[in-house]
Chain A
Amino acid sequence: MVKITYNAARCKGCHYCVNACPKKCVAPSGELNEAGYETVKFNEADCIACGSCYTVCPDYAIKIEKED
């Protein structure tokens, strides 16, 4: 099971994670955070915990844990 912890308050809406995800399970959420940036939403069910979104995130908003 994959658990994604997303800190929307830190997100600056660059959407690098949306483009980097090989399984297309990151998408723009259509909602803004307090700073006015469009956040993203995750589909945890399809996530394979490859860490691509974590790797490209410049703002340290994503944490991924994969459990047995």
Chain B
Amino acid sequence: MAIKKFEIPELLKDKPSHGACQGCGHGICWRIIYEVVEELGYKNKHVIFHDLACGSHGLFATHGHAFSGAHGRAIPTATGYKRIRPDMLVFSYAGDGATYNIGMQHTVHTAARNENITAIVVNNTNFGMTGGQMSATSLIGQKTTSSPAGRDSKENGNPIDIVNLYHGMDIAYLARGAVDSVPNINKTKNYIRKAFQKQMAGEGFSLVEILAPCPTNWNLTPAAALDRMENEIFKIYTLGEFIERSAK
């Protein structure tokens, strides 16, 4: 008799391999998200909203309900759907470029309105799909295809940290996890669970940022990409829960 089993969720089974690169963190993010969706009993009552970037490979990785909107517009598309169908678990899934560059106005104003949705942001500190250009979250000194000499704070500004940006905002939940190691993956899964539970309890907007490796555009091996996360990225973007409002 089987007593212990580690198997991917039903929503991801029997699908062709997703198109993410070797060592990309997106695959892990999708798995923990759909594990939580199934554990909470929303297998047939959820919709994921993508935009157009690496994250939208997830459209083809799942049997669940999914929608792909315009680039950077995952959050407003999810907002519109949630207003019509408040009974559904609704979450957006996009990268740092989409959420903190292209769709920044939505990121700010959706939080200001405290819309009852969850935003999942995969932060790999660059625009992955278009070839590794600098994004709002690229670190100072980070070499990208659009900052070949490294990001310069005088010319390009400082990285945007969502925790500082949302400081004092009246939202339900804000947390930052990572998918570099087993403990961090398990913690991130818990953050996602909490965010979904808060949404379904009607508490308002929740955002979970997930730091993920991008070996292809960082020009590193997968193992070196994880080292970079630990030695450089975690020092700038600290992990943990930052806003947690108790139920009204």
Residues of A within 8 A of B (CB): 9-10, 12-16, 19-20, 37, 49, 51-52, 54-60, 62-68
Contact = CB atoms under 8 A, between A and B. Distances in A.
The 6 closest A-B pairs by CB, nearest first: A58-B27, A14-B23, A54-B6, A14-B222, A66-B4, A51-B6
Nearest to A49: B4
Nearest to A62: B6
Nearest to B20: A58
B1 A56 contact: no
Given A52-B182, A55-B182, A12 B4 contact: no
Contacts, number: 76
A14 to B, nearest CB: 4
A59 B42 CA distance: 23
Interface of B: 1-8, 12, 17-18, 20-28, 31, 181-182, 185-186, 215, 222-223, 226
A23 B29 CA distance: 25
B28 A56 contact: yes
Most buried by B among A10, A12, A62: A12
Contacts of A16: 23, 222-223, 226
A56 B22 contact: no
Contacts of A63: 5-8
Contacts of B25: 58
A49 B2 CA distance: 12
14 contacts: A9-B17, A12-B17, A13-B22, A14-B222, A16-B222, A55-B28, A57-B27, A58-B23, A59-B17, A60-B27, A60-B31, A63-B5, A63-B7, A68-B3
Given A12-B22, A60-B8, A20 B181 contact: yes
Contact of B22 (A37, A57, A67): A37
B31 A65 contact: no
A56 B5 contact: no
